Structure 1
Amino acid sequence: MTTSSISKGCFVFKPSTKKKKRTSDAEDYFINGSEDCENSKQRFRLCQKLWENMKSETESVQDDLNKKILDSLLEFARKSAYSFMSREEDWASHMRASEIPVAALVLGVNLTDHNMTLQSLSDRLQQSVTPFVVSIQAKEGTAVKYLLQKVLQRLTGVSMDKDEEEASTDLPQKRAHCSLSSLCDWYMTVCKDPSGISPGKKRSSSEMNFSANPPIIIIFKDLEAFSPRVLQAFILICSQYTQQLPLLFIFGIATSPSTIQHMLPHSVTSLLCIKLFHSSSCSKHLATVIEKLVLTPHFPFKPSGKVLQVLVGLFLYHDFSVHNFIKGLQLALLEHFYSQPLSVLCCKKQDAVVRAQQLSHQEVEKIRQLPSFMRFVEEQEPREQVELLTNDERVKEVCQKLLKGLRRYHKNFLPILRCLHVLTSSLPKYPLGKQIRELHVTCLETNVWETEEYESALQLLRILAKDDLLTDLQRCVEILRPGKTKELRDAHKQLQDLTDRFQQLDASTDHSAPDGHVEFRVDDRFSGNGLQKKTDLFQLQKTLLQMKESHRTKKRSPFELLRNETIAYFDSLVKMHLTRPESQPLYEVCYCTSSGTLRHHLNATPRTSIQMALTHPYCYLQNEALRSETGAISSAAPDVCIMYKLHLECGRLINLYDWLEAYSTVVTAAEGDDPDPSEKGKVDEIRHARFIRAVSELEFLGFLKSTKQKTDHVARLTWGGC
């Protein structure tokens, strides 16, 4: 950019108006290949907004579950800091001067959830207790020197501002000078000036009210993974500075508190004052997340029964991670909005009605192609069928009504589901499941009243004691109390009337069986005085049939009649409101049914992927020279692929010499060399080295192992291939 002016001056050049190439974002990938770009953008924004609401709900659930244990940890940290400052006599009686307070936090085996819990703990400690909080992982503490270095660097980086860091010379930056003595000097310098205590970038020191000597808290995230030797040395060093530094350790334990005794000898544990804390169980956490995200009408998106089975199965049989369950639910949400064009209607009722009025002709045609809508059309009169198949405006009107009906269905479905769970969750052997998620999956997959388990549950309910039945009825009344729909209000009124009638029953009424249990009476002919001396099988059978008939015709007590009436009413509620979602028109708008896609993405099969890569390297390397016929060995393939193909032709034990000869033959053909008859049986050193490396790679991947049966053989560990 130049000017032709000969005068001196200041020239302003406007920036170029050419648009810079914008990097692709998530929205671009979402609408890539879509026929209707505007529809895809709406679905992406709707998906993003819905996930933000669900994410905020999960965070609030996490905070509520951890609130009790986090408050206990905060109180423990405050008491430890107060004990260090007060130096009272009773403190000395409970904790010797060389002891370090330790909070042993048992988090469970769901390792992926630990970071979330410990991060929340670290944030709350920095906000209310001390700005000096350090989190250390096992991979950062391979040696005592590196562990000390990490602790010192993170403490000084968090506690000092940039200007103070430049001016401070108390702590040398060289690794060789990193020691707790230098940390003591720095701590004393900082504590002399309270304004120097800064909790980092989140809040200024003026907004915080810390004590004069805030404790230094070190969080060991994964205690089991730490080297016992390094941990012992670090604790021994820290115990020498407990008079100068208010240290406090937090151990994140995944297995059992006995891990501390296994890792540390008594001479080291005697230097620690340990208090045990237990976090909430992962199963309880999962139940709360499902309750807030799935079993609620607030979120229009719903996973189908198979999708929920995939997510819960991964939780139960793989990692017990609620974090991964939430990520799987997010993937299901994204997959639904990406693959279903009509998911643009999966929003709040008011927004869905407005968008239904603005549907294009192409979207109306997609509604007509939905299986649930086709079934709905078939149930209508012939004239109405013609209107729905030819008139777009009529489809939009009906679509608005169906969407409102779908919302009403969910508002009725979930409370009745909870009532049924209350009645059946305490029955022997749990015929409909102990957890509500099990009953929910059953109701999503089939009509629950058609199952044998439901009939078994009804039979058990018909002999339920009065006190248990009354308690369950009162809980059901509380569940239905809000009454957001007319059906729920009527059910609430009816159950309240039944509860009142149970309470009005006279306790002195002559029941045929106390507490609702059937009383079996033996005929006088089988009593001690009238027992026949001789009888045959026919006479015995006749007598038993008479006893059974008399039991059937026996007059029932008022409690039994009322109990049967109550169970019959619950049965009618179940058949009315717990129908399968597939029976509702336009259910495809809200329900994600892509269970196969979720299983493919979440349930990893590394062995299958590795076998596919070794069998068909062209699919991964995209090299035309690697194309080959099915089952053929490409001579240009990588060594490990050639070795894998050759090992498929062997049995349980593989002769290394024969394997080397076969490999050499294939490689020689690839290099275009003619084998010399005089050099038969000899292999080039380079090829020999390549062969050894390929064998080592296959051993590392788990396809073979060394064996002691024969010294020149290896054992094959897998069978079959892609």
Structure 2
Amino acid sequence: MSETSSVSKGCFVFKSSSKKRKRHGGVDGYLVDDDGDDNGRDRFRICQKLMDTVQMHIEEIQDQLNKKVLDNLVEFIKKHEHCYSSDVWRQRASEIPTAALMLGVNVPDHAMTFRSLCNLLQDSVTRFVVSVHAKDCAAVKLLIQRVLDQLMGKGVSLDEELEDDAAVPQRTQCAMSTLCQWYKTVPKKCALVSPERREHSKNKDLPRRMPIVVIFKDFEAFNSQVLQDFILICSRYSQELPFIFIFGIATSPSAIQHRLSHSVSSLLCIEVFHSLSCTQHLASVFDQLILTSQFPFKLSSRAIQVLLGIFLYHDFSVQNFVKGLQLSMLEHFNSQPLSVLCCQKREALLCAKTLSQQNVERIRHLPSFMRYVETQEPQVQVQLLTSDEHVKEVCQKLLKKLHKYHKNYYPILQCLHALTSSLPKCPLGKHLRELHVSCIEKNVWETEEYASAMQLLRILAKDELVAALRNCADILKSASTKRMQNVLKQVEDFVDKLEELECNFTQDPPGDDVILSGMDYQRRTDLFQLQKNLLEKESRRTKKMSPFEILQNQVLQFIDDLVREYLTPAELQPLSEVCYYSSSGVLRQRLNAAPRMSIQAALSHPFYYLQKEALKTNAGTVSSTAPDICIIYKLHLECGRLINLYDWLEAFVTVISAAEDKDQSSDEYGEYDSLKHARFIQAVSEMEFLGFVKSTKQKTDHVARLTWGGC
């Protein structure tokens, strides 16, 4: 007892130094700056709110895009569910209904689609839904085991009285006969458990014929023999077990022919279902999430190009694109203290009123705010540089202007895209995101593509121009600003004036200057002279513009004025740094990982990873206390294309002998025993596994080097 009391008396508390960075508890503590800024909690709260908004919108978009194909799959299963209780199924009992779901090459997005499909089927069609992966089903026994585990587990969990050891199959009982016995008993008991099911199941045969849906999520990855054996087994039991298969295919329907033989595929009644492409999915994400004024966080043109490059050239995954967007949000709120203003308009104005002196000083150092100060009068400049209260008032006005800019920018952007997206060769881009990148990067009206688009708009027929203007009117109807409503009225007036015209142009009666003289008519066979006369008379003739051409020029001039007024680059707007994330280099470094460079840096400079003072060396030298693979790596940098294993071993033993403090003049220095030999072999094997060397047939005692250079 005395020892315990003495230990308790030896506990003391030491206060940390005030100069050290104050760390808040929780995740929001990481958003606190080194200089003592205390808006980390607010930034974390705003960032978390935006994260939840993004996730909610992504799920809604996913449900909207997959609704059609999922509804078709449900109808397909319901149709065959009714057939199972009729004579048609008994006549074609050997054929298993199969849905080939074409999902595309965006494999990371398939998980969300299958999750929605399973939930929809369990809620509206059948409780017996099984989803299997190829990695878990390397053999037929494992595949049957997965199916039985998921099915019989669901059946037992519906009623607590059924949860006994006898109802759960052991691995030795995993056979289709066990599933048949379970299917004959469980649906009858389950139909009496829920009163709702008792009311809806007026047909007593419905629970007995409830289909068993097996979803193969990655059909191409399954072993062909495993699939064929499983289908043959299921076909033998098709009269007792109403199976329905769903194949998740990423490539094309021909994958079924490549994976299954004709005798096996003839046992399937296949129907193909196509989902929307990943590019259409990405366009929906852009239109409803990024290109909208309701979402305060914005991406610069370079950041968008980095995310689009990863999407188009790597995985076509919308989910990974969204993760990149979320990473951009985290980086923005972590690196920019003024991101506390990156929120909805009302909340941003309240935050602007309570800005700290430090954040006011940060606003003064923003490039966009400095440009704004330079455009003001000298007296106003002095107030902006000296008075914090005046900066807060101006900041509120600029935030209102920034939000108004976004509300006017996106409708005009969509109108310009509606006018130019159907033009030949799509000079301003086929997708809205391409036009958006061009507009926020530079003055789009100064580009050659914009001039080409305006020239092509001048040759549109009246019907085409009216249809394009009607699309613009539909877009402007959803705009909320008064200015956009005035633009809508002007567009509708142009549509009414164009519809009043009887034809696209009025043709003037031919005059004397157009009718060829008798001499010209006699020389009509002389093509050169005829062309010369026509060009001379056409040059002397003054063409009179038709009413359609006059009205068309007015429409194009009106569109050009809107573009120049509202589609200015975002970086020219004051306080744009508050909402726009532009660190494309950081984003590329985080998402486009370079594993080989990281491995080379770790092997060349192990001190920065292991934090051992003994590993500090000068450039080009090898530390004898470094890990074996680091020594092997640095030694192989001194070799050419082929490396002699014996010389490599001798150099390795020489280096590690220096760590044992042996005398260099002794006979034992540089000699290797079985332990050193084993360490060398293990290190070389690790180098081969990492892809730095490989065995070669040119010389048996040599290895070939696969990389050049180093860190």
Q: Is contact 2:368–2:572 with CA below 8 Å preserved after alignment?
A: yes
Does the residue aligned with 1:394 lie in a helix, a strand or coil?
helix
Distance 1:127 1:262 in 2: 34
In 2, distance between residues paired with 1:648 and 1:549? 76
User: Higher mean Cα deviation, 224-233 or 162-171?
Assistant: 162-171
The residue type equivalent to 2:407 in the other structure is K
Match of 1:347 among 343, 347, 356: 343
Matches for 1:378-397 after TM superposition, within 5 Å: 378-397=374-393
Corresponding letter in the other structure for 2:207: A
* SS of residue paired to 1:359: coil
2:128–2:154 Cα contact (<8 Å) kept: yes
Matched with 1:243 is 239
Give 2:395's aligned residue: 399
The equivalent of 2:58 in structure 1 is 58
Q: Secondary structure at the match of 2:169?
A: coil
Structure 1 unmatched ranges of 5 or more: 1-21, 514-520
Write the distance in 2 (CA, Å) between the matches of 1:524 and 1:358: 85
Secondary structure of the structure 1 residue equivalent to 2:97: strand
- Closer/same/farther in 2, CA of residues 57 and 259 from structure 1, 3 Å limit: same
- Checking the alignment, whether the CA contact within 8 Å between 2:654 and 2:669 is kept in structure 1 is no
Partners of 2:277 and 2:519 in 1: how far apart?
Answer: 56
Quote how far apart the aligned CAs of 1:695 are.
2.3
Matches within 5 A, 1:282-297: 282-297=278-293
Give the distance between the partners of 2:81 and 2:47, measured in 1 at CA: 47
Q: Which residue of 2 aligns with 1:29?
A: 30
Determine if the alignment matches structure 1 residue 79 to structure 2 residue 94.
no
Partners of 1:225 and 1:298 in 2: CA distance: 42
Q: Which digits, 9 at most, give the CA deviation of each residue in 1:96-130, with x for residues without a partner?
A: 21222211111111111010100110111111111
Match of 1:579 in 2: 568
Secondary structure of 1:235's counterpart equals helix
User: Which of 199, 204, 207 does residue 212 from structure 1 map onto?
Assistant: 207
Q: 2:37 is matched by which residue type in structure 1?
A: D
- 1:190 Cα offset (Å): 0.6
Structure 1 CA distance for aligned equivalents of residues 634 and 430 of structure 2: 50
Instruction: State whether residues 626 and 637 of structure 1, in contact with CA within 8 Å, keep that contact through their aligned partners in structure 2.
Output: yes
Aligned-partner SS, 1:167: coil
Q: Does the C-alpha gap of structure 1 residues 32 and 561 become closer, same or farther in structure 2, counting only changes over 3 Å?
A: closer
Distance 1:557 1:636, change over 3 A: same
Q: How far apart, CA to CA, are the structure 1 residues paired with 2:530 and 2:666?
A: 97
Question: In the alignment, is residue 375 of structure 1 matched against residue 376 of structure 2?
Answer: no
Q: Which residue of 2 aligns with 1:47?
A: 47
1:687 corresponding residue in structure 2: 676
Residues 706 and 715 of structure 1 are in contact (CA less than 8 Å); yes or no, is this contact kept in structure 2?
A: yes
Aligned-pair distance for 1:436?
0.8
Moved more, 632-641 or 103-112: 632-641
Alignment of 1:301-450 (within 5 A): 301-450=297-446
Shift of residue 381 of structure 1? Answer: 1.1
Q: What is the DSSP-based 3-state SS (H/G/I as helix, E as strand, rest coil) of the residue aligned with 2:245?
A: strand
User: Residues 205 and 714 of structure 1: is their aligned pair in 2 closer, same or farther, counting only changes over 3 Å?
Assistant: farther
Equivalent residues of 2:644, 2:701 under 8 A apart: yes
Name whichever of 278-287 and 299-308 sits farther off.
299-308
> What amino acid sits opposite 2:212 in the alignment?
I
TM (norm. structure 1) is 0.88
Match of 1:718, SS state, is coil
- CA-CA distance at 1:410 after TM superposition: 0.6
Closer, same or farther: CA 23–361 of 1 in aligned 2, 3 Å: closer
TM-score when scaled to structure 2?
A: 0.89
Q: In structure 2, list runs of 5 or more residues that go unmatched.
A: 1-22
Q: Is the 8 A contact 2:306 2:584 kept in 1?
A: yes
Residue 60 of structure 1 aligns to which amino acid in structure 2?
E
Whole-angstrom CA distance in 2 between matches of 1:452 and 1:638: 59
SS in 1 for 2:659: helix
1:524 and 1:715 mapped to 2: Cα distance?
A: 87
Indicate the RMSD between aligned Cα atoms, in angstroms.
Answer: 3.0
Aligned to 1:16: none
Do structure 1's residue 158 and structure 2's residue 147 form an aligned pair? no
Which of the residues 86, 105, 109 maps onto 1:109? Answer: 105
**Counterpart for residue 19 of structure 2:** none
| Counterpart pick for 1:274 among 270, 277, 287 | 270
Shift of 1:463: 2.1
Contact 1:449-1:455 at 8 Å conserved across structures: yes
Offset of 1:522 from its aligned partner? 12
CA-to-aligned-CA distance 1:615-643 (integer Å, 9 cap, x gap): 11222222332221122112222222222
Distance 2:603 2:520 in 1: 81
Structure 1 residues 145 and 208: CA distance shift in structure 2, 3 A: farther
- Kindly indicate whether the alpha-carbon contact (under 8 Å) linking 2:414 and 2:432 is maintained by their aligned counterparts in 1: yes
User: For residue 471 of structure 2, what is the amino acid of its counterpart?
Assistant: R
3-state SS, counterpart of residue 275 of structure 1: strand
Structure 2: distance between partners of 1:534 and 1:224:
66
Partner AA of 1:292 in structure 2 = Q
- List per-residue Cα deviations over 1:282-321 (Å, max 9, x = no partner): 0000000000111111111111111111111110011000
Q: Which amino acid aligns with 2:43?
A: R
1:702-713 matches, within 5 Å, as: 702-713=691-702
Q: Which amino acid aligns with 1:163?
A: E
1:644 aligns with 2:633: yes
Instruction: List aligned pairs for 1:128-207, cutoff 5 A.
Output: 128-161=124-157, 163-167=160-164, 169-173=166-170, 175-195=171-191
* TM-aligned CA distance change 1:670 to 1:23, over 3 Å: same
- Residues 508 and 223 of structure 1: is their aligned pair in 2 closer, same or farther, counting only changes over 3 Å? closer
Report Cα offsets for 1:363-386 as digits up to 9, x if no partner.
222212211111111111111112
Q: Summarize the Cα distance change of 1:511–1:692 in structure 2 as closer, same or farther, 3 Å threshold.
A: farther
Quote how far apart the aligned CAs of 1:189 are.
Answer: 1.4
Assess, with a 3 A threshold, how the Cα gap between structure 1 residues 400 and 522 changes in structure 2: closer, same or farther.
farther
Change (3 A) 1:423 1:524: farther
The within-5 A match list for 1:391-540 is 391-507=387-503, 510-511=506-507, 529-530=522-523
CA 1:398–1:508: 2 relative to 1, 3 Å: closer
Task: Name the SS of the counterpart of 1:354 in structure 2.
Answer: helix
Paired amino acid for 1:651: G
Q: Is the 8 Å Cα contact of residues 31 and 43 (structure 2) preserved in structure 1? A: no
Q: Which residue of 1 aligns with 2:14?
A: none
Q: Which amino acid aligns with 1:658?
A: D
Q: Partners of 1:432 and 1:527 in 2: how far apart?
A: 46
Query: Would the alpha carbon gap of residues 170 and 388 (structure 1) be closer, same or farther in structure 2, given more than 3 Å must change?
Result: closer
Deviation at 1:687, TM superposition (A): 2.7
1:233 aligns with 2:222: no
Q: Secondary structure at the match of 1:104?
A: strand
Q: 1:390 to 1:80 in 2, by over 3 A?
A: same
Secondary structure of 1:579's aligned partner: coil
Paired residue for 2:7?
none
Residues 411, 479 of structure 2: 8 Å contact kept: no
Equivalent in the alignment of 2:686 = 697
Paired residue type of 2:169: P
Asked if 1 retains the 8 angstrom alpha-carbon contact of 2:657 and 2:670, the reply is: no
The whole-number CA distance in structure 1 between the counterparts of 2:524 and 2:243 is 85
Q: When the two structures are aligned, how many residues end up with a matched partner?
A: 681
1:668 Cα deviation (Å)?
2.6
Classify the secondary structure of the residue corresponding to 1:274.
strand
Q: Secondary structure at the match of 2:207?
A: coil
Shift of 1:672: 3.5
Structure 1 residues 470 and 217: CA distance shift in structure 2, 3 A: same
Change (3 A) 1:528 1:499: same
Name the CA distance, whole Å, in 2 between partners of 1:540 and 1:634: 90
Q: Do the aligned partners of residues 118 and 534 (structure 1) sit closer, same or farther apart at CA in structure 2, a change above 3 Å counting?
A: closer
Q: Which moved more, 1:447-456 or 1:156-165?
A: 156-165
Cα drift, residue 411 of structure 1: 0.8
CA deviation after TM superposition for structure 1 residue 528, in Å = 6.6
Indicate how the Cα distance of structure 1 residues 34 and 111 shifts in structure 2: closer, same or farther if over 3 A, else same. Answer: farther
Tell me the distance in 1 between the aligned counterparts of 2:77 and 2:103: 18
* Offset from partner CA, 1:649-700 (integer Å, 9 cap, x none): 2222223333223223222333334578878997533333332322222222
Decide whether the 8 Å contact of 2:104 with 2:277 is kept in 1.
yes
Cα distance in 2, alignment partners of residues 135 and 292 from structure 1: 31
Identical positions, percent: 57
